[in-house]
Amino acid sequence: MSTGRVIPVLRIFDAAKALEFYRDFLGFKVDWEHRFEDGLPLYMQVSHAGCLLHLSEHFGDACPGAQVRIETEGLPAYQEQLLAKQYKNARPGLVEVAWGGHEMRLTDPFGNRLSFHGPMEES
């Protein structure tokens, strides 16, 4: 057996809010968008430094409130970039975790939880 890349599908309810969070705040780029026709739900792929996520407005594609862990190099620098944006809905912090390394935990506007994790970096 051989497997390929895993791409989580996260439920969203409002494309504008999703773009504000994932593109404008987190710095993901929109790779593509799909609607069967105008006025129907959006399905899109966003990416950032090798991380791919699918975001879907389609009922039944995913349950809101999922959690995704994202391996991240340079996590302290990324956290500083996010804090500098002064996003009104999040001020992410770094948390040292018992199993080693640290995490930055964020919740998107739809209740999905993103846990960026990486090794402790030497100062």
Tell me the per-residue pLDDT of 91-109, one tens digit each, with 9 for 90 and over: 999 999 998 899 999 999 9
Mean pLDDT of 82-95: 95
The sheet with strand 94-96 has its strands ordered as 67-71, 113-118, 102-107, 94-96
* CATH code of 37's domain: 3.10.180.10
In a domain, 102, yes or no: yes
Q: Which range of residues forms the domain containing residue 100? A: 9-118
Q: What is the pTM of this model?
A: 0.92
15 assigned to some structural domain:
yes
- Establish if 104 belongs to a structural domain: yes
What total number of domains does the chain contain? 1
Whether residue 24 lies inside any domain: the answer is: yes
